[in-house]
Chain A
Amino acid sequence: MGKRKVQEINASSMADIAFLLLIFFLVTTTMSVDKGLSRRLPPPLPPNMEKPDIDVKKRNIFIVLVNSNNQLLVQGEPLDVKQLKEKAKLFIQNEANDASLPEKVPVEVEFDGIKETLLTTKNHVISLQNDRGTQYQKYIEVQNELVAAYNELRNEMAQARFGMKYDELDENRQKAIQTIYPQKISEAEPKNYGGKK
Chain B
Amino acid sequence: MATIRRKGNKEVPAISTASLPDIIFMLLFFFMVSTSMKEVTYKVDIHAPEATELQSLEKKSLVRYVYVGEPKKEFKGKYGSETRIQLDDAFADVSQLEEYVVREREAMNENDQNLLTISIKADRDTKMGIITDIKQALRRAYALKVNYAATKRVQY
> Which residues of chain A have a CB within 8 Å of any CB of chain B?
11-12, 14-15, 18-19, 21-22, 25-26, 28-31, 33-44, 82, 130-137, 139-141, 143-144, 147-148, 151, 190, 192, 197
CB of A190 within 8 A of CB of B125, answer no
| Sample of 21 A–B contacts (CB below 8 Å) | A11-B21, A15-B17, A15-B24, A29-B35, A30-B36, A36-B55, A36-B147, A37-B53, A38-B146, A39-B146, A40-B146, A41-B135, A44-B140, A133-B129, A134-B128, A135-B124, A136-B49, A136-B122, A139-B131, A148-B52, A190-B132
Partner of B132, one of A12, A33, A132: A132
A-chain residues with CB within 8 Å of residue B54 when the two chains form the complex: 35-37
CB distance from A193 to the nearest CB of B (A): 12
CB of B146 within 8 A of CB of A35, answer no
For B123, give the chain A residue with the smallest CB separation: A136
Partner of A151, one of B21, B38, B53, B123: B53
User: Measured between alpha carbons, how far is A14 from B126 in the docked complex, in Å?
Assistant: 50
B-chain residues with CB within 8 Å of residue A190 when the two chains form the complex: 128-129, 132
B90 within 8 A of A: no
**In the complex, chain B residues 117-156 whose Cβ is within 8 Å of any chain A Cβ:** 117, 119-120, 122-129, 131-132, 135, 138-140, 142-152, 156
Q: Top 3 closest A-B pairs, CB basis?
A: A132-B129, A137-B124, A18-B24
Specify the main secondary structure of chain A where it touches its partner: mixed
B25 within 8 A of A: yes
A-chain residues with CB within 8 Å of residue B142 when the two chains form the complex: 43-44
For B156, give the chain A residue with the smallest CB separation: A82
Specify the main secondary structure of chain B where it touches its partner: mixed
CB of A34 within 8 A of CB of B145, answer no
Digitize B83-124: 1 where CB-to-A-CB distance is under 8 Å, 0 elsewhere.
000000000000000000000000000000000010110111
User: Measured between alpha carbons, how far is A141 from B50 in the docked complex, in Å?
Assistant: 7
> Which residues of chain B have a CB within 8 Å of any CB of chain A?
17-18, 20-21, 24-25, 27-28, 31-32, 34-38, 49-57, 60, 63, 117, 119-120, 122-129, 131-132, 135, 138-140, 142-152, 156
B-chain residues with CB within 8 Å of residue A14 when the two chains form the complex: 21
CB distance from A151 to the nearest CB of B (A): 6
Partner of A137, one of B32, B50, B132: B50
Residue among A22, A31, A147 with max Cβ neighbours from chain B (10 Å): A22
CB of B139 within 8 A of CB of A42, answer yes
CB distance from B15 to the nearest CB of A (A): 13
A-chain residues with CB within 8 Å of residue B31 when the two chains form the complex: 22, 25-26, 29
For B151, give the chain A residue with the smallest CB separation: A35
Additional pairs, 6, CB under 8 Å, beyond known A136-B131, A140-B49, A140-B50? A14-B21, A22-B27, A37-B54, A42-B144, A134-B128, A144-B150
Known: A37-B53, A132-B127, A136-B127. A31 touches B34 (CB 8 A): yes
For B83, give the chain A residue with the smallest CB separation: A136
